[in-house]
C-alpha cells in the first residue's frame, strides 16, 4: 500500500486571537476562545456544542503567519491534519492518515474535488483558491459522507471566502493593499481589495499576484519548487429584505511554471499551467414560515484546466555494441467542466427536533489532450556501426471523454432532550457515469454507461455533563465512489509499464467511531478524541493483465483494484490556556497525537505518522497593537513501516511571528508583520515530504488600509 495512502500526524494549533462568544453562561476569558462553524452539521453552531471534532482557522490566523499556502503553513499545527507536497502552491490536505480524493475539499460548501483526480499521488489542490480571498477554513476530522457524499472518508476541508461588507446605514468605502516578501524563495506577493457597500447592496473586488523562485533548504536549493500565480475575484451581495439575500460570485486563479519539488534526474514533473474559474449564484432566506427556518439554494459552474508535463530521462541501456538512450517528454491537458446545484432547508419540529435536509447535484465533463514524444538514440560504445536516432509520437489520450454525474439526498435530525443532543442522519447517493470508447495502439476500450449508488448513515451524541464539560461520541459510515481516472485510465502508468482500466471497481467504505470530551473553564480549553476507523475495499494499484499477459514489452501491467482492509486509530489531545501577563494577554498551548495503523489482510503495519508534540506561547499587548507567537513542533522518527517503505527520522522545528499595528503613528490603518520560520535552520523532511523542507526563512509583509467611512 502506498506510503501516503494511510498516514496522519494530528496536532493542535495555537489560538492567539480573540473570538466571539456564543453562550451567555461562558466566562469572559473563555468567551474569547469560542468559534462558530457551519460545515459539521450544515447549521451554525459553536465548536463546543458540536459532537464531532471540528477546527476553525480564522482569517487573523492566516494573516498572522503570513501564509501563502494555508495547507502547508497551518495544517501541520492542527489536530489530525498533515500536508502532502512542498512548495508555495502544491499541498494536499491529509486528515487522519487519508489524503488525495479521500478528503473532500469544499469552497463555500461546494465541491472543489472533481472526477479527474489521479489516484493516490493526486488530489485537488487547495492552492487553486487565492489565500487573500480566504475568510476562514472549517475542518471536520473523520468521515462526513452523510451530509456531503463521496470523497469524505478522511474528513472535510471547507474554504470560506470573504464576503462583501454591508454597513448598518449609509455608504461605506474601504480597501486594502498588501505586499509580502520571503527570503527562502525570493517570493514577492501583492494583493489589493476594495469594498463598497450600503445596507442592502455590497460589492467586493480582489486581485493578487505572486512569483516564487526555487526555495532553499538548509542544505541547498530544492529544484523544481517555483511557482507563479495570478488571481481575481468579484462578489455582489443584494439584500432587498432583512431575511432574503442574493449573492453573485466570480473568481479565477491561474498558476504557471509550478514545479514538483523532489522531482529531477530520471523523472521531472511540472505544471506549465493550472487554473480554475468559477461563477455561482446563491439565494439565502431565513424565517420564511413557522415550519421553514432557513432555505439556501446555489447554482454554480466551474472550469478546472491542468497542464502537466513530465520528462523521463532513463540511464543508458546496454544494447549490443550500443548504449540506448531514451528521453520521453509528455504533456497532458485535462479539462473538467462542472455544473452543480445545492438546495438545503432547515425546519424546527415540535418536541425539540430540528431537521436539515436537501439535495446536491453535480455533473463533471472530462476531456483530455495528450502528446508524448519519445526520442531513442543508439550511441556506439566503440568505433563500428554508426548510431541512429528514432522519434516516436503518441497523441492518444489516456482517459476517455467522460461525464460523471452525482445526486445526493440527505436528512439529518438534531434532537435536544435535556442534557443530550442526538444527531442521526442518512443519505442516498446515485452516480451516472458515461465514458466514450478509447482506442490506443495497445488496444481498445469500449464505451461504458454505468450507474452506482451508495447509502450512508451516522449518529452523533453530545452529553452536557456540566456547563463546562461536554462528552461526545459518534459512529458514521462513509464511502468513496471510484472516479473517472481510476475506472478508465489506459496507457503508460505512473507505476511504470502499462496501466489498464477496471470499470467494475467497487466503492471504498469506512466505519468510524469517535469518543471524546470538550471542556471549557476560566481561561482554559481542553479537548481529546479517540478514533477508530476501518476502511474496506481500499482502492490502489495492483498487478493486472492485458490480453492474458502480465507484461508488455518487458514492463509490468497494472490496474486499479479493491484490495485490503485497513484500520487506523489514534488519540488527538489539545490544551490551551489564556490569561493576563505582562500587561497584556498570554496564550499558551500544547498538543499531543498518537496514531496506529494496520493492514489487516497483509498482517503488517501501515505507514502511519510517529508521535508528535506541539508547544507554543503567544502574547498580545492590551490594546492589540503588538503581538507575537512562538511555536515548536517535535516529531519522532517512525521505525515500524511495512516492507518496501523507508523509515523516517525525527526533527524539531521552531517558528517565530510578530505583528505591529502602526496606525497610531501614521493616522491610517497600517500593519507590519514579520516572521522567522525554521528558526534554527534545520535540514529535515516532513513525513509526507518528497524533498527537504525550506530552511530558515524571513517573511515580511505590510498591509495598508483605507476607508471604513460612511456618507449620507
Burial of residue 361 (CB within 10 Å: 0-12, 13-18, 19+) is middle
Measured distance CA(113)–CA(126) in Å, rounded? 10
Residue 64 gets which letter from DSSP? H
At 98-115, the pLDDT tens digits run: 888 889 999 999 998 888
Measured distance CA(569)–CA(567) in Å, rounded? 7
**What does the buried/exposed string (b/e) look like for 98-113 if buried means 16 or more CB atoms within 10 Å of the residue's CB?**
bbbbbbbbbbbbbbbb
Measured distance CA(675)–CA(489) in Å, rounded? 45
Q: Cβ of 475: how many Cβ atoms within 10 Å? A: 16
Element (H, E) at 619: strand 612-621
> Chain-centre distance of CA 512, in angstroms?
20
Q: Which ranges of 76-209 does DSSP label H, i.e. alpha helix?
A: 145-148
All structural domains of the chain: 28-711 (2.40.170.20)
3-state helix, strand, coil in the chain (%, to 5): 5, 60, 35
In the numeric block, the cell 471547507 is attached to 158
Report CA dihedral (683, 687, 689, 693) to the nearest 10 degrees: -30
Measured distance CA(58)–CA(78) in Å, rounded? 13
- List CB contacts of 636: < 8 A, sequence separation 6 or more: 610, 611, 612, 650
> What pTM does this model have?
0.90
Measured distance CA(176)–CA(182) in Å, rounded? 20
In the numeric block, the cell 432587498 is attached to 240
Burial of residue 155 (CB within 10 Å: 0-12, 13-18, 19+) is buried
> Which phi-psi region, left, alpha or beta, contains residue 87 (left: φ > 0; alpha: ψ -120 to 50)?
left
- List CB contacts of 290: < 8 A, sequence separation 6 or more: none
97 by DSSP, 3-state: which? strand
643 to 464, 606, 607, 611: CA distances (angstroms): 46, 10, 10, 21
Beta strands in 481-583 (DSSP E): 491-492, 498-499, 508-521, 524-536, 539-543, 551-552, 555-562, 565-581
Measured distance CA(155)–CA(93) in Å, rounded? 10
Measured distance CA(312)–CA(325) in Å, rounded? 11
Residue 442 has a pLDDT of 78
In the numeric block, the cell 456564543 is attached to 22
Measured distance CA(28)–CA(383) in Å, rounded? 87
At 160-184, the pLDDT tens digits run: 999 888 888 889 999 999 999 999 9
Burial of residue 143 (CB within 10 Å: 0-12, 13-18, 19+) is buried
Nearest to 105 by CA among 67, 73, 151, 59: 151
- List CB contacts of 211: < 8 A, sequence separation 6 or more: 187, 188, 189, 228
Residue 496 has a pLDDT of 66
Residue 276 has a pLDDT of 94
Measured distance CA(268)–CA(263) in Å, rounded? 5
Q: Cβ of 667: how many Cβ atoms within 10 Å? A: 8
Measured distance CA(258)–CA(384) in Å, rounded? 44
Beta strands in 400-554 (DSSP E): 402-417, 420-435, 438-440, 443-445, 448-466, 469-480, 491-492, 498-499, 508-521, 524-536, 539-543, 551-552
360 to 297, 432, 678: CA distances (angstroms): 10, 14, 43
Beta strands in 603-666 (DSSP E): 604-605, 612-621, 626-635, 651-661
Measured distance CA(654)–CA(617) in Å, rounded? 12
Q: For the chain, give me the number of helices (H) and strands (E)?
A: 6, 43
Q: What is the DSSP string of 193-242?
A: EEEEE-SSEEEEEEEEEEEE---EETTEE-SS--EEEEEEEEEEEEEEET
Ranges of residues in the chain with a pLDDT under 70 are: 1-34, 118-122, 494-496, 553, 708-712
Angle at 613 between CA 608 and CA 616, to 5 degrees: 145
> Which phi-psi region, left, alpha or beta, contains residue 707 (left: φ > 0; alpha: ψ -120 to 50)?
left
Beta strands in 108-186 (DSSP E): 110-111, 134-141, 155-161, 171-182
Nearest to 354 by CA among 424, 430, 258: 424
- N- to C-terminal Cα separation, the chain: 65
Please check whether residue 82 is in contact with residue 568, taking contact to mean a CB–CB distance below 8 angstroms.
no
Nearest to 535 by CA among 506, 558, 577, 502: 506
Q: What is the DSSP string of 309-322?
A: EEEEEPPPEEETTE
Rg of the Cα trace of the chain? 26
Amino acid at each position: 500500500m502506498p506510503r501516503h495512502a494511510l498516514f496522519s500526524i494530528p496536532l493542535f494549533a495555537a489560538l492567539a486571537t480573540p473570538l466571539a462568544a456564543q453562550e451567555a453562561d461562558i466566562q469572559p476569558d473563555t468567551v474569547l476562545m469560542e468559534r462558530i462553524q457551519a460545515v459539521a452539521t450544515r447549521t451554525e453552531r459553536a465548536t463546543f456544542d458540536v459532537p464531532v471534532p471540528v477546527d476553525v482557522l480564522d482569517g487573523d490566523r492566516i494573516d498572522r503567519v503570513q501564509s501563502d499556502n494555508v495547507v502547508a503553513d497551518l495544517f501541520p499545527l492542527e489536530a489530525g491534519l498533515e500536508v502532502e507536497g512542498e512548495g508555495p502552491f502544491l499541498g494536499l490536505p491529509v486528515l487522519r492518515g487519508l489524503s488525495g480524493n479521500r478528503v473532500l475539499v469544499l469552497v463555500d460548501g461546494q465541491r472543489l474535488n472533481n472526477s479527474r483526480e489521479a489516484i493516490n499521488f493526486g488530489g485537488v489542490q487547495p492552492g487553486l483558491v487565492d489565500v487573500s480571498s480566504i475568510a476562514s477554513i472549517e475542518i471536520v476530522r473523520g468521515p462526513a459522507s452523510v451530509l456531503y457524499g463521496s470523497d469524505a472518508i478522511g474528513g472535510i476541508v471547507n474554504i470560506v471566502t470573504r464576503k462583501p461588507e454591508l454597513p448598518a446605514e449609509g455608504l461605506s468605502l474601504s480597501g486594502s493593499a498588501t505586499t509580502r516578501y520571503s527570503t527562502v524563495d525570493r517570493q514577492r506577493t501583492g494583493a489589493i481589495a476594495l469594498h463598497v457597500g450600503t445596507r442592502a447592496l455590497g460589492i467586493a473586488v480582489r486581485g493578487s499576484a505572486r512569483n516564487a523562485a526555487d526555495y532553499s533548504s538548509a542544505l541547498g536549493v530544492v529544484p523544481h519548487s517555483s511557482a507563479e500565480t495570478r488571481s481575481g475575484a468579484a462578489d455582489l451581495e443584494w439584500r432587498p429584505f432583512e431575511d432574503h439575500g442574493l449573492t453573485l460570485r466570480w473568481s479565477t486563479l491561474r498558476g504557471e511554471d509550478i514545479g514538483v519539488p523532489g522531482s529531477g534526474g530520471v523523472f521531472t514533473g511540472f505544471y506549465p499551467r493550472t487554473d480554475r474559474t468559477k461563477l455561482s449564484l446563491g439565494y439565502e432566506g431565513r424565517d420564511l414560515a413557522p415550519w421553514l427556518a432557513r432555505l439556501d439554494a446555489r447554482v454554480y459552474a466551474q472550469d478546472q484546466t491542468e497542464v502537466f508535463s513530465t520528462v523521463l530521462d532513463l540511464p543508458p541501456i546496454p544494447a549490443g555494441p550500443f548504449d540506448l538512450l531514451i528521453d520521453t517528454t509528455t504533456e497532458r491537458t485535462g479539462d473538467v467542466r462542472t455544473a452543480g446545484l445545492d438546495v438545503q432547508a432547515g425546519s424546527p419540529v415540535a418536541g425539540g427536533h430540528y431537521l436539515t435536509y436537501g439535495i446536491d447535484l453535480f455533473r463533471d465533463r472530462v476531456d483530455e489532450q495528450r502528446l508524448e514524444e519519445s526520442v531513442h538514440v543508439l550511441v556506439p560504445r566503440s568505433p563500428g556501426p554508426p548510431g541512429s536516432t528514432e522519434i516516436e509520437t503518441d497523441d492518444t489520450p489516456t482517459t476517455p471523454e467522460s461525464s460523471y454525474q452525482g445526486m445526493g439526498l440527505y436528512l439529518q435530525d438534531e434532537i435536544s432532550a435535556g442534557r443530550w443532543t442526538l444527531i442521526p442522519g442518512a443519505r442516498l447517493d446515485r452516480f451516472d457515469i458515461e465514458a466514450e470508447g478509447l482506442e490506443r495502439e495497445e488496444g481498445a476500450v469500449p464505451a461504458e454507461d454505468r450507474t452506482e449508488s451508495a447509502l450512508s448513515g451516522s449518529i452523533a451524541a453530545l452529553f452536557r455533563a456540566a456547563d463546562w464539560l461536554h462528552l461526545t461520541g459518534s459512529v458514521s459510515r462513509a464511502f468513496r465512489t471510484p472516479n473517472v481516472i481510476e475506472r478508465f485510465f489506459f496507457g503508460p502508468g505512473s507505476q511504470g509499464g502499462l496501466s489498464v482500466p477496471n470499470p467494475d471497481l467497487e466503492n471504498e467504505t469506512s466505519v468510524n467511531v469517535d469518543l471524546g470530551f470538550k471542556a471549557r473553564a476560566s481561561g482554559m480549553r481542553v479537548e481529546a478524541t479517540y478514533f477508530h476507523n476501518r476502511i474496506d475495499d481500499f482502492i490502489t494499484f495492483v498487478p493486472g493483465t492485458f490480453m492474458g499477459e502480465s507484461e508488455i514489452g518487458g514492463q509490468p501491467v497494472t490496474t486499479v483494484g479493491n484490495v485490503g482492509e485497513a484500520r487506523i486509530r489514534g488519540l488527538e489531545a489539545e490544551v490551551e490556556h489564556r490569561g493576563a501577563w505582562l500587561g497584556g494577554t498570554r496564550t499558551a498551548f500544547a498538543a499531543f497525537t498518537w496514531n496506529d495503523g494496520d493492514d489487516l489482510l497483509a498482517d503488517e503495519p501501515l505507514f502511519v505518522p510517529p508521535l508528535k508534540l506541539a508547544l507554543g506561547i503567544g502574547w498580545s499587548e492590551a490594546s492589540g497593537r503588538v503581538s507575537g507567537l512562538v511555536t515548536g513542533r517535535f516529531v519522532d522518527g517512525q521505525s515500524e513501516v511495512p516492507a518496501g517503505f523507508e523509515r523516517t527520522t525525527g526533527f524539531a522545528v521552531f517558528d517565530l511571528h510578530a505583528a505591529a499595528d502602526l496606525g497610531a503613528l501614521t493616522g491610517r490603518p497600517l500593519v507590519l508583520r514579520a516572521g522567522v520560520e525554521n528558526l534554527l535552520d534545520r535540514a529535515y523532511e516532513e513525513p509526507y515530504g518528497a524533498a527537504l523542507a525550506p530552511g530558515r526563512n524571513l517573511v515580511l509583509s505590510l498591509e495598508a488600509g483605507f476607508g471604513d467611512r460612511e456618507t449620507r
